[in-house]
């Protein structure tokens, strides 16, 4: 490895990073992922306007009709960097690999969290503010089917049923649900008519991977960094949402200068700077295949 020039994570580290992202991101767990080229790609959604037609022998065929809605998925660059002691440059190979693996672990966790925040809310995870690079390519801006939870979260089960009805009413399937920690707590507290917990599997902070057979992901990212009080995203994550990454993940070890604009020169502080970048892209192919649950009447107009 040439340590003072840009290089790439080796394939083992890339695979490990992607596996960790898929294990910690609600979006990644609920939806399909595939590599995306650097210049982007188009996904085409066909909507058949009619049902199939029964045709008699020698009978006349009729026009069914189709609508085609292309959506371009363009990867955007994300990066993370950290200063480490310049002893990194002189330690033996095994210890250096250990440092890189630790950096890879931390980077994977940040990418997983960042993916959710970008896709759900359209924010720059570093600043928590809306990103002009992402624009409206996020659930908060594109999904306008909303269920307002009356009386706070007093009846979360009814809220979910209403959201499912909205998605089904749009002709889509429900394949998964991402919920906030607040909504998980509300479900855990809900009682049936006999006064027993309606969802006992949620007791004491438990977060099962499915509830009543529906894949469910509990994550703080659902309600963090949003001004719209989102508590649940539910819909066809398997078929109407796609995300992916460009396979090459650059890694740089920078020895000179002030790459993080901290005002501290690396050489002056006996440090080097590790920086990694990734290219992620996603697309909400059919916004009407999803619904959001908003808490109470505290919705902020977007």
- 285 within domain boundaries: yes
**For position 86, what pLDDT does the model report?**
84
**For position 301, what pLDDT does the model report?**
42
The string of pLDDT tens digits covering residues 255-288 is: 899 998 999 999 999 988 888 888 888 989 899 9
DSSP secondary structure code for residue 301 in this structure: P
pLDDT higher than threshold 80 for residue 95? no
* CATH code for position 164: 3.30.2320.10
pLDDT higher than threshold 70 for residue 4? no
pLDDT band at 3 (very low <50, low <70, confident <90, very high): very low
- 301 within domain boundaries: no
- 61 within domain boundaries: no
- 16 within domain boundaries: yes
- 207 within domain boundaries: yes
Q: Are strands 290-295 and 146-149 parallel, antiparallel or unpaired?
A: parallel
**How many CB atoms within 10 Å of residue 123?**
21
> What predicted TM-score, i.e. pTM, was given to this entire model?
0.82
- 196 within domain boundaries: yes
Number of domains in the chain: 1
- 172 within domain boundaries: yes
The string of pLDDT tens digits covering residues 166-220 is: 999 999 999 999 999 999 999 999 999 899 999 999 999 999 999 999 999 999 9
Domain of residue 83 covers 7-44+70-295
- 87 within domain boundaries: yes
Mean pLDDT calculated for residue range 115-137? 95
pLDDT band at 299 (very low <50, low <70, confident <90, very high): very low
- Are 81 and 276 a contacting pair, CB within 8 Å? yes
Using CA atoms, how far apart are residues 254 and 261, in angstroms rounded to an integer? 13
Which residues on adjacent β-strands are paired with residue 85? 271
Backbone angles phi, psi at 200, to 5 degrees: -60, -25
């Amino acid at each position: 490895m040439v340590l003072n020039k840009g290089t790439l994570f080796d394939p083992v580290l890339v695979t490990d990073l992607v596996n960790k992202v898929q294990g910690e991101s609600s979006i990644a767990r609920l939806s399909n992922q595939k590599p995306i080229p650097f210049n982007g790609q188009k996904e085409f959604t066909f909507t058949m306007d009619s049902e199939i037609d029964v045709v008699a022998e020698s009978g006349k065929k009729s026009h069914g009709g189709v609508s085609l809605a292309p959506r371009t998925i363009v990867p955007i660059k994300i990066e993370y960097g950290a200063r480490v002691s310049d002893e990194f440059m002189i330690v033996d190979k095994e210890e250096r690999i250990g440092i890189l693996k630790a950096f890879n672990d931390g980077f994977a966790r940040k990418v997983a969290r960042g993916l959710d925040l970008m896709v759900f809310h359209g924010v720059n995870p570093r600043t928590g503010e809306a990103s002009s690079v992402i624009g409206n390519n996020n659930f908060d801006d594109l999904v306008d089917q909303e269920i307002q939870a009356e009386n706070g979260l007093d009846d979360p089960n009814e809220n979910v049923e209403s959201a499912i009805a909205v998605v089904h009413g749009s002709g889509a399937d429900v394949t998964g649900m991402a919920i906030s920690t607040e909504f998980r707590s509300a479900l855990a507290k809900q009682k049936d008519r006999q006064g027993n917990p309606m969802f006992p599997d949620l007791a004491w902070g438990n977060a099962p991977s499915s509830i009543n057979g529906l894949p469910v992901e509990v994550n703080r990212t659902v309600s963090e960094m949003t001004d719209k009080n989102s508590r649940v995203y539910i819909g066809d994550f398997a078929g109407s949402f796609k995300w992916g990454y460009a396979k090459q993940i650059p890694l740089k070890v920078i020895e000179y200068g002030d790459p993080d604009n901290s005002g501290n020169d690396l050489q002056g502080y006996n440090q080097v700077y590790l920086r990694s970048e990734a290219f992620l892209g996603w697309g909400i192919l059919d916004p009407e295949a999803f619904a959001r649950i908003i808490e109470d009447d505290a919705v902020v107009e977007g």
